[in-house]
Copies of this chain bind each other. A is one copy, B any other.
Amino acid sequence: MTRVKMEDVAKLAGVSKSTVSQFLNKRYEFMSEETRGRIENAIKSTGYQPNVIARSLKVKKTNTIGVIVANILHYFSTAVSRGIEDYCNKHHYNVILCNADDNPQKERIYLEMLLAKQVDGIICATTGKNNELLKDLINREVPLVLIDRKLAGIEMDGVFSNNEQGARDAVAHLLAIGHRRIALLSPDLNGISTRQGRFKGYRQTLIAHGLQPMDEYIKFVKSTAEVKESISDLLHMPEPPTAILCTNDLTTMEALHVLKQGNVKVPETIAIIGFDDSPWVDLLDPPLTTVNQQTYEIGLKSAEQLLTRIEHPQEKKFHEQILDCHLTVRKSCGIKN
């Protein structure tokens, strides 16, 4: 592949390797116009491209960060990674994007791969099942920032959504337009902070409005198959809920599927709020009211934080950023009052 190396251009330019190196690193200060020109030409005519791997080995810096997303099929993940990428590109870092696929095993393998590749730092939306490893990285002062999901009891840099507030706003909206029997459809909590936060926001808001959260209205599902069951349960209760808050996009999608199949009218029979935007939600019938995270900003800010951490790996103070969610009201909740 890349045959030509620094020595070749040095020879051609009639200078030494080190001079070429100086040139490449833009340390022109002590270089004559002439040598400079000769080197430039030599590079052009040979088509020389530096081998960053050799460079990295020497300078112990790869200018590359690793990003582990939970599941690249989620719009959330791609949007976040765009933010990260934009920030990194601007600051001359490359990113290696890894898809953990909601699989702790894969997450672990990727973490190790990234370390082996000597990345300068890692942004990770963790599955929550590799806490020891993550903690160990912190101890070893590997620059690391968490996104999306936070780890209980571990101090780390991170940028997260305010999931409680997001759920609160959603429920408050439902209450405001007249709903009283509000159900929650969530993937199994599984110790995952985002889900817990949303659950908590849901409960709090009901209680704050003098309503008692009812266990029968709260459905935790382990698979999409269970969504069908849960929805059916809800609809067949003596007092069925008039609204469902779905706390992630896959459950939302599945719920809408099921409702559609069963010819259940949204929002007339049941109102729906989902989490996370996607370009499609506007096109649904009715357009879906959603709680939106600041996905792109999460990407931007996490990258920013990681790069500052890379510059101060020893810094003992960790920095946590919480970004508010924003409720986008469309038509899937109707207007009840």
Contact = CB atoms under 8 A, between A and B. Distances in A.
A62 interface: yes
A213 to B, nearest CB: 29
Contact of A51 (B81, B118, B253): B118
Interface in A79-102: 79, 81-82, 85, 94, 96-97, 99
Contact of A284 (B72, B117, B284): B284
A65 to B, nearest CB: 12
A257 B278 contact: no
Contacts of A279: 73, 253
A81 B72 contact: yes
Interface stretch (A13-21, A52-60, A184-192, A196-204): A52-60
Contact of A116 (B50, B81, B253, B256): B50
B112 A49 contact: yes
A73 B82 contact: yes
A238 B176 CA distance: 48
What's the interface size class on A, roughly? 35 or more
A118 B253 contact: no
A118 B285 contact: no
B99 A82 contact: yes
Copies per complex of this chain: 2
A85 B140 CA distance: 29
Contacts of A72: 78, 81-82
Nearest to A136: B47
A54 to B, nearest CB: 5
A1 B64 CA distance: 14
A141 B2 CA distance: 10
B97 A113 contact: no
A260 B331 CA distance: 14
Contacts of A96: 94, 96-97
Interface string A33-60: 0000000000000000111111011000
Given A49-B112, A78-B73, A257-B282, A142 B99 contact: no
A53 B62 contact: yes
A186 B284 CA distance: 23
Given A57-B54, A78-B73, A283-B284, A1 B142 contact: yes
A115 interface: yes
Contacts of A283: 253, 256-257, 260, 280, 284
Given A78-B72, A99-B82, A53 B56 contact: yes
Interface in A238-286: 253, 256-257, 260, 278-285
Contacts of A56: 53
Interface of A: 1-2, 49-54, 56-57, 62, 64, 72-73, 78-79, 81-82, 85, 94, 96-97, 99, 112-113, 115-118, 140-142, 253, 256-257, 260, 278-285
Q: Lowest 10 CB-CB distances: which A-B pairs, in order?
A: A285-B285, A280-B280, A97-B97, A52-B116, A53-B118, A256-B283, A96-B96, A72-B78, A53-B56, A53-B57
